[in-house]
Chains A and B, each alone.
Chain A
Amino acid sequence: GDSVTQTEGQVALSEEDFLTIHCNYSASGYPALFWYVQYPGEGPQFLFRASRDKEKGSSRGFEATYDKGTTSFHLRKASVQESDSAVYYCALGDNNNAPRFGAGTKLSVKP
């Protein structure tokens, strides 16, 4: 079945550092890929989506590019801020299949 793998369980950075959170997927079809962010005490929020190969999704300075060849959708941000501290989830949606979320990556940014 479909699956999503996030390599990093936790990432600790300082403000203005470059962020990469790795996301790889496995799907039988041609899925849509998503990034969500969850702040403490809240439900996950949609960040952005990409639905075809080489498409870049972006929001709030975060971006990721759909790469069908490497089955990846890595989240990047050039300069993180303390307010970016949260848990980030990669997810996929595929036709007639249940949605799949990665295990999440907790980002901690110190000032």
Chain B
Amino acid sequence: EAAVTQSPRSKVAVTGGKVTLSCHQTNNHDYMYWYRQDTGHGLRLIHYSYVADSTEKGDIPDGYKASRPSQENFSLILELASLSQTAVYFCASSLGDYAEQFFGPGTRLTVL
């Protein structure tokens, strides 16, 4: 069965620190996505990738970098974490633009 895993599942970071969220998929999908979800709100696209070694900016890329070193792995990097980046982060993968996305379980990030 298709699987998207995220690590860590929960993280507490200090303001100004560097945070790396990791995503691994075994779906053999080319497309991968990072979203953030704030309490009581919907999904907002941060970065996405169509192919390894290439990333695209989503709707809210400021303060985030992304890295796609292989088809299976997609990381989200917060170089200087801020309080406003406290949220739940979801990674997803899909076969393409017209295909459904498979989501990971999420990472709860708290920046203090």
Q: Interface on A for B, CB 8 Å cutoff?
A: 31-32, 34, 36, 42-46, 49, 51, 89, 91, 93-99, 101-104
A-B contact pairs, 7 of them (CB 8 A): A32-B98, A42-B105, A43-B92, A49-B100, A93-B99, A98-B48, A103-B42
A interface footprint on B24-39 (CB within 8 Å = 1, 0 otherwise): 0000000001000000
* B101 interface residue (CB < 8 Å to A): yes
Q: Which residue of A31, A36, A96, A99 contacts B45 across the interface (Cβ within 8 Å)?
A: A99
Give the residue name and chain of the B residue nearest to A46 (CB). B100
The reply to whether B101 and A46 contact each other, CB–CB distance below 8 Å, is yes
Specify the main secondary structure of chain A where it touches its partner: loop
Chain B positions within 8 Å of A, measured between CB atoms, are: 4, 33, 41-43, 45, 48, 56, 58-59, 90, 92, 94, 96-106
Alpha-carbon gap, A91 to B101, bound state (A): 10
CB distance from B35 to the nearest CB of A (A): 8
Given contacts A43-B90, A43-B106, A44-B90, contact A101 B100 (CB under 8 A): no
Whether A98 lies near B42 (C-beta < 8 A) is no
- In Å, the complex CA distance between A108 and B1 comes to 30
Question: A32–B95 Cα gap in the complex (Å)?
Answer: 13
Q: B42: which of A43, A49, A102 is its contact (CB, 8 Å)? A: A102
B residues near A93, Cβ cutoff 8 Å? 94, 96-99
**Residues of chain A within 8 A of B58, CB atoms compared:** 98
The answer to whether A44 and B97 have CB atoms under 8 Å apart is no
New A-B pairs, 15, CB < 8 Å, besides A42-B106, A93-B99, A98-B59: A42-B105, A43-B103, A43-B106, A44-B90, A44-B92, A44-B103, A49-B100, A91-B101, A93-B97, A93-B98, A95-B97, A98-B45, A98-B58, A99-B101, A101-B45
